[in-house]
Structure 1
Amino acid sequence: MSVLQFLLNLSDRQAAEAVRCRIDFKYALALDLDDPGFHHSVLSDFRDRLAQDDRADALLDLALARLKEAGLVKARGRQRTDSTYLRAAVREMTRLELVLEAVRAALEECARTAPEILDGLVTEDWAMRYGRQVRLVSQPSHPATRLKQAGTDGADLLDRIRSRRPTAAPGPAAEALRQIMVQHFLVDTRGRLRPRAEKDGLPPTGRRLQSPYDLQARYVRRGHRTWTGYLAHVTETCDAESVNVITDVATTAPTADSTALPGIHARLEQRRLLPAQHLIDGGYTSVALMDTAARTHRIEVIGPVSPGNSWQRKAGTGFTREDFTVDFDRRQVTCPNGKISGNWSEPTAQAPYALVAFDARHCSPCPHRSRCTRSKDPRKGRTVNFLPRRLHDLQAQNRADQQDPQGRRLYAVRSGVEGTVNELANAHQMRRCRYRGTAKAHVQHVLTAIAVNIERLSTQEPDDSAYRPRPPTAFQQYLDAHELPSPRWWRQGQ
């Protein structure tokens, strides 16, 4: 029922009503026509259970195992992965709103679980400040004074909770208030509580709590896009003669995409659906990850390795690391001007890179010194770092494949996963999280992925189907015979 709910984008009440009165739902769920259904709150309880102990992933494992038994998905094929942003189910708040709402949430929690804590603390002023949800205008009056007052109230509330219940663990709202107080306030040398400024060590926006109700949602800026929430990594098959099936979906904190790749491979190995070729974009690729995937899982990771951000590459006229010739056997490096350096070192602090420093006697009189180094000190020469031979050769091969026409045609298949991301985001509203926290949001995304798989497989014609594609018209045949372009939608019915 939960899969059908996300397939049709129904709320809990709408889903329960559909089970009660829709005949197609009763047929799909193998229910009697007079079955009364169930209360809508059962769905929420079921999702809570799925959010525990990776049960949502176990549900996806079961669905993929059934598809594998039916021959609809197989291992050692070709798969592709991409990520998309997810907006958390919280309201974006200013700093003042965040602190006020955190205090109010902690007061609500205390009033519900231990109201005696508030006796003697809450006054009429507190009732006016925190008696309802905080929603301020764009330019509230006296924001600095109100922020300091809210910080003082929050500190007093936390002190009262610790003094009245010293051995009890704080509730979720009290813990959120504590973290927000640490991030946004400090006690100065005079013992006074005041809001933090940038010079006081205010945490970066990507590490601050954005809501007292979701401690895992973070503010993210990627290029021109900003949001508060998480990331979703979607992996699907992309073999030429089979329907594309989503094999993995991961809901993670908004970190670098490359950190999600080992987990994707581990889950695919557990499902026995590891691909032979894995197409990913530049956010996932690194030479080390490509080497690990090849040695551990026998996966050929296909994607562009970052060319680096050295000033020589940005200028377009300098000598980059690729312009130097490395002789690993002799532990020597030859510069573009023909000078050889054997000053090879492997410092632990820069592992796994090896460093090669050229002698200043060679670099100082070199006519191309300005294209090689910006150092004005004539006693210093160019220093170049290299990966170990295995990784160095893999990096060189990757960059050669990016320029090869056949390799570029193969990598072009990766772009198809963006259509899957668009289908999940627009057709099934996956980008807007219904629930708070990565665990429950992951349940939503897993159920949506299973729903999309069912939707795709249901559109496939069986082998014994009587359906025949519409033949081209006479004019279409004329255009084909004369190799004239025609609108794509003409071919959709064929």
Structure 2
Amino acid sequence: MRPEIWKPPVELSVAEQKVAKRIRKAKLFVFLRKIRHELFDPDFQRELGTIFKDSSVGLCPIAPAQLSLAIILQAYTGVSDEEAIEAIEMDRRWQLVLDCLDCEKAPFGKGTLVRFRALLIANSFDRRLIEKTIEMAQSSGEYNSRSLRVALDSSPLWGAARVEDTYNLLGHALRKALEVISQNYQQDLVTVATSAGAEVVTGTSLKAALDLDWDDPQARNLALSTILQALNSVESWVEEKTDLDHKTISQVNKSLKDARQIETQDVEETSDGSPKLRKGVAKNRRISIQDEEMRHGRKSRNKRVDGYKRHVLKDLELQMVRAVGVTPANAPEASVTPDIEEDLNSQQVIIQELQIDRAYLTSHWVKQRTPTMTIICKPWKVRNGHFFDKNAFVLDWEQHLIRCPNGVSLPFTEGSVVRFPKHECDSCPKRSQCTQSKHGRSISIHPDESLLAELRERQTSNTGRAKLRERVSVEHTLAHIGQWQGDKARYLGLRKNLFDLRRMAVVHNLHVLARMCKTNDTVGELENSTKRRISTG
């Protein structure tokens, strides 16, 4: 049965006014109470109703708008599902927003909240929540352009799962497989593991069970061989089992496949055929059994992150987050732009000005930019020791000629290397300032040299440097989102963490919307005051 349209009261009751007055810092509760009927208008509620149907027989349908508000408050306060239900029953601020003041029991349970969240994710309605906040801001007349000035940036998001070394990754995957079998047989783990020839993985510590000198390379190879033998034994034992149901076999094979993935990426054979750890790191190396999408990565040369990167695209005019993205920590920043563009397409907007840092210069937005798109970015530093750098050479884009400091010109094409003739360099009076090469000076022309030249030229003017400073705004937004979300992911996997980041963006946008409304109220009061003074003249 499809839920009915939720029609909570618009005006605050006397009891609600008392609660609202007592809220000192968490003003988003009061703001949500005042605008909930606008945020979840009948049309939007009907949209939500298409994905959610209450399956509880004999109970009144739960309004999707109520559940959506609970999910927003959950992001704002950083509580778990169980804590959210507890807050609804005990925190009058939650009750104020959800229209259940002084209730003794929450209008829905944890299972309903979990099911609704899964439906939001499956139908991408977490993205619709962001769009709805933008629509509200635009309806207020603040800004309604289809051509955007936006800034894009990222920050680290540590994974929620445990990061393990190769030995523990293999042992963890094996133990998961055996735990599923033990549940199916309703036997304890040790009994099943002993039958399968893998008792070594049943203890609280795999390395303690192996009891080896881990400083000895031979002992480490022996440990690896022992674990892989246990893996082979379990695989053979599982193949002989005919009394396991399809679901159990599927879960067991998934864990065994994970173990083989770890072996493939981390293990190699010695000359005598025994296993040893691979030197170096495999490409796209898996670092966790619990979360297969977590990766080692770096935000900078000195800052490593195990997990993900969160990306935020901010509208510089509206000051709201337009779209967000989550990528594995080892993925290039530029890889997120196709997904963010898909979000923008649903809003029917285009980018007129894109402010980024240098990590996004390889994005498809930059490579496939239209003539109407302006890229604002700090250029790469051009250094050449104490010799002339590339800035000392003049690029004539109309004639496609490059002129050296001594006036010698040569044709160039983007993506090539220009080599000045040896005899010209030998006789050049500025040679000591230009090169020590006996073959003469050479200049590499980047495949997108025209953009880099534009960026370098912009940095030389006061106006251009002021433009570059505007990108600081998106860094502040990332910091605000980080205050609510924290530096560690709440969920396992990319999609659920994208959901979490999207609802954090909703919280941010609601704060911006609250400031807009407060400003408009102040302006309205000043206008009314002026009118009263004029009328009383």
1-side partners of 2:354 and 2:401: how far apart? 35
- Counterpart among 418, 421, 424 of residue 362 in structure 1: 424
Amino acid at match of 2:314: E
2-side partners of 1:226 and 1:287: how far apart? 22
The 1:450–1:55 alpha-carbon spacing in structure 2 relative to 1, beyond 3 Å, is same
1-side partners of 2:399 and 2:512: how far apart? 57
The 1:48–1:159 alpha-carbon spacing in structure 2 relative to 1, beyond 3 Å, is farther
Counterpart in the other structure of 1:432: 488
For the pair 1:335 / 2:404, whether they are aligned, the reply is yes
1-side partners of 2:522 and 2:341: how far apart? 37
- Which piece of structure 1 moves more, 268-277 or 12-21? 268-277
For the pair 1:319 / 2:393, whether they are aligned, the reply is no
- Counterpart among 427, 444, 447 of residue 385 in structure 1: 444
- Counterpart among 459, 466, 469 of residue 409 in structure 1: 466
Over the matched positions of the two proteins, sequence identity in percent amounts to 21
Amino acid at match of 2:83: Q
Counterpart in the other structure of 1:423: 480
Q: Are the aligned partners of 1:173 and 1:213 in contact in 2 as well (CA < 8 Å)?
A: no
The 1:181–1:393 alpha-carbon spacing in structure 2 relative to 1, beyond 3 Å, is closer
Compute the displacement of 1:11 (Å). 1.4
Note the alpha carbon deviations across 1:252-277, whole angstroms, 9 max, x for none. 12222233334434422321344533
Q: Are the aligned partners of 1:217 and 1:437 in contact in 2 as well (CA < 8 Å)?
A: yes
Alignment of 1:434-453 (within 5 A): 434-453=490-509
2-side partners of 1:318 and 1:287: how far apart? 32
Q: Are the aligned partners of 2:326 and 2:336 in contact in 1 as well (CA < 8 Å)?
A: no
Counterpart in the other structure of 1:95: 166
The 1:291–1:42 alpha-carbon spacing in structure 2 relative to 1, beyond 3 Å, is same
Counterpart in the other structure of 2:373: 299
Note the alpha carbon deviations across 1:50-85, whole angstroms, 9 max, x for none. 333644324433443344344455333533222110
Count of aligned residue pairs for this structure pair: 439
For the pair 1:220 / 2:289, whether they are aligned, the reply is no
Compute the displacement of 1:114 (Å). 8.7
For the pair 1:83 / 2:159, whether they are aligned, the reply is no
- Counterpart among 316, 331, 350 of residue 238 in structure 1: 316
Structure 2: runs of 5+ lacking an equivalent:
1-69, 215-219, 527-537
1-side partners of 2:124 and 2:238: how far apart? 33
Q: Are the aligned partners of 2:151 and 2:471 in contact in 1 as well (CA < 8 Å)?
A: yes
Compute the displacement of 1:449 (Å). 1.4
Q: Are the aligned partners of 1:74 and 1:273 in contact in 2 as well (CA < 8 Å)?
A: no
- Counterpart among 114, 117, 124 of residue 44 in structure 1: 114
Q: Are the aligned partners of 1:151 and 1:193 in contact in 2 as well (CA < 8 Å)?
A: no
Q: Secondary structure at the match of 1:123?
A: helix
Compute the displacement of 1:450 (Å). 0.9
For the pair 1:209 / 2:280, whether they are aligned, the reply is no
1-side partners of 2:397 and 2:315: how far apart? 39
2-side partners of 1:461 and 1:152: how far apart? 68
Query: TM-score by structure 2 length?
Result: 0.70
Q: Secondary structure at the match of 1:423?
A: helix
2-side partners of 1:354 and 1:270: how far apart? 39
- Counterpart among 9, 25, 28 of residue 97 in structure 2: 28
Compute the displacement of 1:387 (Å). 4.6
Counterpart in the other structure of 1:479: none
Amino acid at match of 2:405: P
The 1:287–1:374 alpha-carbon spacing in structure 2 relative to 1, beyond 3 Å, is farther
Amino acid at match of 1:382: R
- Counterpart among 262, 275, 285 of residue 180 in structure 1: 262
Amino acid at match of 1:293: R
Q: Secondary structure at the match of 1:276?
A: strand
1-side partners of 2:378 and 2:211: how far apart? 48
Counterpart in the other structure of 1:249: 324
Compute the displacement of 1:203 (Å). 1.3
Q: Are the aligned partners of 1:63 and 1:450 in contact in 2 as well (CA < 8 Å)?
A: yes
Q: Are the aligned partners of 1:7 and 1:452 in contact in 2 as well (CA < 8 Å)?
A: no
2-side partners of 1:336 and 1:466: how far apart? 58
The 1:113–1:395 alpha-carbon spacing in structure 2 relative to 1, beyond 3 Å, is farther
1-side partners of 2:436 and 2:337: how far apart? 37
Where relative contact order (Cα < 8 A, 6+ residues apart) is larger, the structure is 1
Q: Are the aligned partners of 2:85 and 2:106 in contact in 1 as well (CA < 8 Å)?
A: no
Q: Are the aligned partners of 2:168 and 2:206 in contact in 1 as well (CA < 8 Å)?
A: yes
Amino acid at match of 1:246: V
Compute the displacement of 1:402 (Å). 1.2
Structure 1: runs of 5+ lacking an equivalent:
347-351, 470-494
For the pair 1:400 / 2:457, whether they are aligned, the reply is yes
